[in-house]
Amino acid sequence: MKLPHHVIVKAPGLLPMLYKASELADEIQIPERTLRDWLEAGAPFQRDSSNRIWVNGQEFKQWVQEKRKPKRTFKLLDNQAYCLHCKTAVELLNPERHAIKGKLVNIKGVCPQCGCTINRGGVDGTVN
Ligand SMILES: [Zn+2]
């Protein structure tokens, strides 16, 4: 999910108060439907005893800031792969490259930590 630029600009102006979904949507100029999607996707909100949705401006602002943080991407080297078992990037033992199609290759190797066989896709000639 990508936040529209104007939301990122407007969010810091939100007050530490409870907004109705419709008010907040107005405030940051998005359709209420979109706001409700965000709430479902993890934006902070609370419900009162009548099941009405309220969003704390301060919390929403923090959520927007969280979303803005660039995702941490790690580049794998040619002989590295992500081991699903160890949940970390590992250096493959005995990596073998097999051409699949065009420049696509499959790199097959063994996880040095758990001994699992790992297959990863790659593009020949680049570290991707
Ligand atoms: Zn492993």
Place of tokens 């996880």: 111
**Whether residue 27 sits in one domain with residue 55:** yes
Distance CA 128, CA 110 (A): 19
Q: What are phi and psi of 79, to 5 degrees?
A: -100, 15
CA–centroid distance, 79 to ligand 1, in Å, is 14
Distance CA 34, CA 64 (A): 14
Q: pLDDT value at position 73? A: 66
pTM: 0.55
CA–centroid distance, 115 to ligand 1, in Å, is 6
CA–centroid distance, 124 to ligand 1, in Å, is 24
Q: pLDDT value at position 41? A: 92
Q: What angle do CA 58, 60, 66 make, to 5 degrees?
A: 110
CA–centroid distance, 103 to ligand 1, in Å, is 27
pLDDT digit string (tens) for the chain, length 128 residues:
789 999 999 999 999 999 999 999 999 999 999 999 999 999 999 999 999 999 999 999 999 998 887 666 667 777 889 999 999 999 999 999 888 888 888 889 999 999 999 999 877 655 44
Range of the domain at 111: 80-123
CA–centroid distance, 84 to ligand 1, in Å, is 7
**Within-domain flag for 95:** yes
| CATH code for the domain in which residue 22 is found | 1.10.10.10
Place of tokens 């990596």: 95
